[in-house]
Amino acid sequence: MGRPVPQLRAVIFDWGGTLTPWHTFDLAEQWAVYARVVHDDDERASADLAARLFAAEAAAWQRARTGQGSTHMDDLLREVGVDTTDAVHDAALTAYRHFWEPHTITDEQVRPVWEGLRERGIRVGILSNTIWSGDYHRGVFERDGVLDLIDSDVYSSEIAWTKPHPKAFQTSAEALGVEPSEAVYVGDRPFEDVHGSQSAGMRAIWVPHSEIPVAQQVSVDVTPDGVAHQLLDVLDIVDGWQSR
């Protein structure tokens, strides 16, 4: 057997592509949907705003990948000159979220996995790289009937760091009241999730089915501590560790 590993006290999950089945779709369209509401009588202004939002978001994720900090959606909007206190923003945000809704559906294995972890005395956490508010994410979990099973949730939009920065993982562990060595992180991205959590002292389980866009990939040589081809595999991996 390998080196002794501390008792596992928490499993922390990524959101997109991990708790939601991976969907490939046109990322530019989310901003086109938003911009069409803001400029419903001006096609050119609408296309221009959509393009600027798409570019601003791409730049924000590039900053995230290079450890330069997190972004909230309101920051992006203000960056391109949108007044987020205006009623038209609320209407545009509603359209944007409606566009996203089919891509936010919680995997049906989430409830049995989280119930299984809690039955084992293991805490359930969320750590997500996101520009959306925690309230929005909690609303999604509530809609899908799993909010009650989350012990702690941390969203990059509400802290200064994004994955793979170790501080993001440390913040999540602290929120759960565990040491990083007592936690495992489950995610679909080798760089942000596997490399990030292992660098912060956690174990990592990789969910290998997402088709990460090439522009979002960071090449990294990592070996996850476990691979979950479906979420229910997380319980078997955890049981394997606990029985050592």
For the chain, the residue count is: 244
Residues in contact with Mg ion, total (CB under 5 A)?
4
153 touches Mg ion (CB under 5 A):
no
Min dist CB 83 to Mg ion, Å, is: 31
Q: Report the C-alpha gap between 224 and 232 in whole angstroms.
A: 17
Min dist CB 215 to Mg ion, Å, is: 15
Element (H, E) at 70: none
The phi and psi torsions of 93 (rounded to 5 degrees) equal: -65, -40
Say if CB 212 and CB 90 are below 8 A apart: no
| Interacting residue with Mg ion among 13, 16, 73, 183 (CB under 5 A) | 16
CB closer to Mg ion out of 180 and 187: 187
Residues 67-126 that bind Mg ion (CB under 5 A): none
17 touches Mg ion (CB under 5 A):
yes
Min dist CB 109 to Mg ion, Å, is: 16
Say if CB 220 and CB 199 are below 8 A apart: no
Provide the residue type at 231 as one letter. Answer: L
CB closer to Mg ion out of 122 and 207: 207
Min dist CB 203 to Mg ion, Å, is: 17
Cis bond leading into 164, ω under 30°? yes
Q: Shortest CA distance to 73 belongs to which of 47, 92, 87?
A: 92
Q: 205: buried, middle or exposed (CB in 10 Å: 19+, 13-18, 0-12)?
A: buried
| Interacting residue with Mg ion among 188, 203, 231, 234 (CB under 5 A) | 188
CB closer to Mg ion out of 151 and 188: 188
CB closer to Mg ion out of 46 and 106: 106
Residues 207-236 that bind Mg ion (CB under 5 A): none
Residues in the site for Mg ion, rule: CB under 5 A? 14, 16-17, 188
